[in-house]
Amino acid sequence: MVPRPTEAPHSNRKDLQNLKRLFPYIWEFKGRVMIALLSLVLSKMAIVGMPLVLKQIVDALDASKLPAGQTLVLPLGLLLAYGALRMTSSLFNELRDAVFARVRYHAMRTISKRVLSHLFSLSLSYHLDRKTGGITRDLERGTNSLSSILNYLVFNIIPTAAEFTFVAVILLSQYEPRFTIVTFVTVAAYIAFTLAVTNWRMHFRHTMNKLESQANSFAVDGMLNYETVKYFTNEKYEIENYDQTLDDWERAAVKSQNSMSLLNFGQGAVIAVGVTFMMVYAAQGVVAGNMTLGDLVLVNTMMLQLFLPLNFLGIIYRALKYALADMDMMIKLLDTKRTIEDAPDAKPLTVTEARVEFENVSFSYNENRQILHEVSFEIPPGHKVAVVGPSGAGKSTLARLLFRFYDPTTGCIRIDGQDIRQVTQDSLRRNIGIVPQDTVLFNHSIEYNIRYARLDATHEEIVQAAKLANIHDFIDSLPDKYDTIVGERGLKLSGGEKQRIAIARVILKNPKILVFDEATSSLDSHSEKQILQSLKQVAEQHTTLVIAHRLSTIVDADNIIVLEQGRIVEQGAHQQLLEQQGLYAHLWQLQQQQKREQDALREAV
């Protein structure tokens, strides 16, 4: 399994670089940011002001300070001021949250959209290698990391720094330096201890994150391959893999919790020592007569008030490190290069005749496996060319190259004389329609899946496409008809039903170039004949490339290309190839023999 970015420590420089890259998403609402920061400062000023007023209240109620015979008076004004400061603090806290909400959630929305857009722009090779479960979890963590970082910075770290600054100014200006020294030393010791222990225990969380992603990948992969699991009765195997990973996760989680308890105790001990020193110095000042009871209350309240947000420093620091690591993962995802890019001067593809040419095309997925060797052929306008051959000969690779999911290693592909590497990928794919061998449908209605080819299509046009694909009667027999939900990846439909929906979809798109990649491989003989007639009608006005396994489906092709080990070994019309007594004739004889055996078996039954 590929390690997640959270498994390795990150440099502060790298974290700062990542934050700098995300800053524009925040600064888009700079007015709101400034108002939120101002509200933060005013809230903290009110919070620091409360102990000052509390000192005045205590001193005003200290009867020992009154001259003989004078009656104690209720300091109503001070009490009202104390209440007003508490209310002001709450008001500006909530105002900060309300004002900053738009900044925070808009930034999340924008970065989420950008990440998904980038994923769609990445090349097919990336998506063939990715693990769906892991990437969905990492994507969720990455987009949430921006919200978490903003939350910790704006609502925890910056407010705590502001409050510490205000407390330091008050202590330095009104009291002996030792009070400030105790505060600084205590805070420094608290932060140093917290960061040291947190860094030590973070590897437990790294392990937990890795195992969580791994378990999630097991679960998602198992669900996506539900039928395969059932076919081979491997439910127990899948669950044991999942549980073994969670068992490792459980052990790491227990260690993480135990180390958390140690951290909490150490933090409490540091605070207790610091407050004790502060109280001792303040009590000495009261006894000596140079401090009042109000002063004692003030320094004690400020100390405790300062450590209230610092109590969460370990949690915040750990969470911030995780968020920064997750953000680094998201940045790495955004930095993933596309292997197929539009040329800088790429122009839209202009299709007039729809002539397709493969010229000396060679291709390999990797250095050790050459798939195609100098393949050259032409599909004239309106003609139907079929490609046949043994499995692994490179037939489906031709379709991927035509769609420009990959670029040829050498040679070129042209449409109406235009090299497809010199036109935009969007315009290229808009002019080509495909019925793939493995049809994957959205977990939505049948109508949605057919309309996906042309989003502005009317219901009547969808019905007409379904009729041409010989699927309308089946759809009409369903209780929900075209509103029937097909299930994830079309699980509720048979292979033949899914392929006919794919055929209806390409009929609706009505492109000038058609590709049928084993388009009838999941159909029975009866359905195949009906579909072939429909496909023949659809292809009459189009340039068509048919990748076929069943040779009976392409006997009417204008030209049949026979591939073997990535090379063209024969080509010609069906009858010509039979007369050559080569590979095509051999494959034809094998399939005819299989058909005769199947027919005999059917008659016997």
* Domain boundary pick from 448, 480, 510: 510
State the pairing for strand pair 513-517/543-547.
parallel
* Residue 192 tokens, joined: 């140093």
Q: Is 32 in the same domain as 113?
A: yes
Residue range 143-158: mean pLDDT, rounded? 76
Neighbours of 276 (CB within 10 A): 11
Asked whether residue 468 is domain-assigned, the answer is yes
Asked whether residue 1 is domain-assigned, the answer is no
Neighbours of 391 (CB within 10 A): 7
Query: Coil, strand or helix: which one is 262?
Result: helix
Most confidently predicted of 157-166, 338-347, 474-483: 474-483
Amino acid code (one letter) for 107 = A
pLDDT greater than 70 at residue 136: no
Q: How far apart are CA 287 and CA 435, in angstroms?
A: 92
Residue range 302-327: mean pLDDT, rounded? 74
226 vs 526, residue with greater confidence: 226
pLDDT greater than 80 at residue 316: no
Which among 541, 542, 519 has a CA at the least distance from the CA of 532?
A: 519
Least confident interval from 3-17, 160-174, 194-208, 282-296: 3-17
Q: Is 403 in the same domain as 269?
A: no
Asked whether residue 471 is domain-assigned, the answer is yes
What is the reported pLDDT for 2?
Answer: 36
Neighbours of 268 (CB within 10 A): 12
State the pairing for strand pair 369-379/384-388.
unpaired
Chain mean pLDDT for the chain: 81
Q: Is 233 in the same domain as 322?
A: yes
Instruction: Tell me the DSSP string of 6-21.
Output: GGS---HHHHHHHHHH
Query: Coil, strand or helix: which one is 562?
Result: strand
- CATH number, domain with residue 238: 1.20.1560.10
pLDDT tens digits, one per residue of 124-133? 767 666 655 5
Residue 470's φ and ψ, nearest 5 degrees, are 60, 35
251 vs 141, residue with greater confidence: 251
What is the reported pLDDT for 3?
Answer: 38
Total number of domains in the chain: 3
305 vs 169, residue with greater confidence: 169
Residues sharing a CB contact under 8 Å with residue 459, sequence separation 6 or more, in sequence order? 447, 482
| Helices first, then strands: H and E counts in the chain | 20, 10
398-415 per-residue burial string, b: 16 or more CB within 10 A, e: under 16: bbbbbbbbbbbeebebbb
474 vs 332, residue with greater confidence: 474
Place of tokens 């610092």: 310
Q: Is 50 in the same domain as 18?
A: yes
Residue range 252-264: mean pLDDT, rounded? 83
Q: Is 263 in the same domain as 395?
A: no
Instruction: Tell me the DSSP string of 78-105.
Output: HHHHHHHHHHHHHHHHHHHHHHHHHHHH
Q: Is 199 in the same domain as 125?
A: yes
Neighbours of 104 (CB within 10 A): 21
CB 275 within 8 A of CB 190: no
* Domain boundary pick from 483, 510, 537: 510
Place of tokens 């020992």: 64
Q: What is the sign, positive or negative, of the torsion defined by CA atoms of 462, 464, 468, 473?
A: positive
CA dihedral in degrees (209, 210, 214, 216; nearest 10)? 10
Quick one: pLDDT band at residue 376, thresholds 50, 70, 90? very high
Q: What is the sign, positive or negative, of the torsion defined by CA atoms of 564, 567, 569, 571?
A: positive
pLDDT tens digits, one per residue of 450-476? 998 888 889 999 999 898 888 898 899
Report which DSSP code applies to 485. B
State the pairing for strand pair 432-435/513-517.
parallel
What is the reported pLDDT for 183?
Answer: 83
Q: Is 243 in the same domain as 270?
A: yes
* Residue 404 tokens, joined: 């420009």
pLDDT greater than 70 at residue 588: yes
Q: Is 315 in the same domain as 450?
A: no
Asked whether residue 545 is domain-assigned, the answer is yes
Q: What is the sign, positive or negative, of the torsion defined by CA atoms of 246, 250, 253, 255?
A: negative
148-167 per-residue burial string, b: 16 or more CB within 10 A, e: under 16: bbbbbebbbbbbbebbbebb
Q: Is 192 in the same domain as 261?
A: yes
Neighbours of 428 (CB within 10 A): 23
Neighbours of 237 (CB within 10 A): 12
* Residue 358 tokens, joined: 């493969």
Task: Give all strands of the β-sheet with 410-415 in edge-to-edge order.
Answer: 369-379, 356-366, 410-415, 418-419
Asked whether residue 56 is domain-assigned, the answer is yes
In the chain, the percentage of residues whose pLDDT exceeds 70 is 87
What is the reported pLDDT for 7?
Answer: 41
Q: Is 160 in the same domain as 86?
A: yes
pLDDT greater than 90 at residue 106: no
pTM above 0.85, yes or no: no
Asked whether residue 604 is domain-assigned, the answer is yes
Annotate 343-375 with three-state secondary structure.
Answer: CCCCECCCCCCCCEEEEEEEEEEECCEEEEEEE
Which among 372, 368, 427 has a CA at the least distance from the CA of 399?
A: 372
25 vs 474, residue with greater confidence: 474
Q: Is 173 in the same domain as 27?
A: yes
Q: Is 305 in the same domain as 374?
A: no
What is the reported pLDDT for 4?
Answer: 39
Long-range contacts of range 313-317, CB-CB < 8 Å, 24 or more positions apart? 313/160, 313/190, 313/191, 313/194, 313/267, 314/194, 314/197, 314/198, 314/260, 314/263, 314/264, 314/267, 316/152, 316/156, 316/157, 317/194, 317/195, 317/198
pLDDT greater than 90 at residue 359: yes
Q: Which domain holds residue 578?
A: 346-431+511-605
pLDDT tens digits, one per residue of 506-550? 888 888 898 888 766 656 666 666 666 766 766 677 898 998 888
In the chain, the percentage of residues whose pLDDT exceeds 90 is 10
* Domain boundary pick from 482, 510, 538: 510
- CATH number, domain with residue 385: 3.40.50.300
pLDDT tens digits, one per residue of 343-358? 888 899 998 888 999 9
Most confidently predicted of 66-75, 248-257, 454-463: 454-463
17 vs 43, residue with greater confidence: 43
What is the reported pLDDT for 559?
Answer: 92
Asked whether residue 5 is domain-assigned, the answer is no
pLDDT greater than 70 at residue 122: yes
Asked whether residue 6 is domain-assigned, the answer is no
